[in-house]
Amino acid sequence: MLAVFLVFGASCTAKEKKVQQAETEEAVDEEAIRIASIAVSQLPENMQGNILNNMDAFKADLAAVLAEDSRFFIIADKSHLLTADYNPGELVSLDGKGIKVNKKGMKLEKVTFEALRKMISDSAEEGLSLMVSSAYRDYKYQVGLYNYYISKYGKEKTDTFSAPPGASQHQLGTVIDFNDVENTFAGTKEEKWLTENAWKYGFSLSFPKGYEDVTGYDWESWHFRYVTRAGAEFQKKYFDNIQHYMLLFLDSYRN
């Protein structure tokens, strides 16, 4: 009788383990299905492959990104408008901080500022000169800037390079325009260094060349946004280093 009981007990334990394993696998599959659904519906085929062929690693990296403050991944564009009273968090003045600027009074969100200061310091050690030409812009400032451009160039042309109020990433307080704010910046030592190294400090190019129809804006080789180190690495690894697609995926995943 004892032997029968032990066999029966062992059998139940094995069965319970199989049930638990099946339930775990089902949960994992549901998560994978959700991720795949978003990827297939929103991303180019090559990015779908980056995710679907590396699902376990993707989920681990996604968890690391989701652990970061979500405000660093807010979409601000013509389809996702910020409110006039959007709060970017604590802002830090760039004046007197050892950062080269082309005008006084500019500010950045605090975490972004610290990352920028480190990046500029490291680049200077390599003999480079990064200058901040634009940083945080509030809603009211963007209204004036956008209307000025319309008066000068007309709305159709303006919409290719200037964001309507609420659609500017600058309102987030996490964006920097470097140096001359012209695509003559491309190919300079500073631009090449940023292309190679900015992600290590959490920054990525917002409006890359060849993706004008995707981002809605002309190529801006000088415009970098802070998306955290985890986010910048995530973007490089799975989204071909295209910020727009990473932000779109994260927005859909969260919502």
- Span 87-128, pLDDT tens digits: 999 999 999 999 999 999 999 999 999 999 999 999 999 999
- Supply the pLDDT for residue 146: 96
Q: Supply the pLDDT for residue 29.
A: 75
| Residue 49: half-sphere exposure toward Cβ, Cα within 13 Å | 4
Res 46: pLDDT: 96
Q: Are 63 and 234 in contact (CB under 8 A)?
A: no
Kindly report, residue by residue over 206-232, the tens digit of the pLDDT. Answer: 999 999 999 999 999 999 999 999 999
Give me the pLDDT at residue 14, please. Answer: 53
Taking the C-alpha atoms of residue 165 and residue 156, their distance in angstroms, rounded to an integer, is 15
Q: Which of 238, 237, 240 is nearest to 36 (CA)?
A: 238
Stretches in the chain below the pLDDT threshold 70: 1-28
Tell me the one-letter amino acid at 35.
Answer: I
Amino acid at 141: Y
Which residue(s) pair with 207 in the sheet? 220
CATH architecture, range 69-227: 2-Layer Sandwich (3.30)
129: which DSSP letter? Answer: -
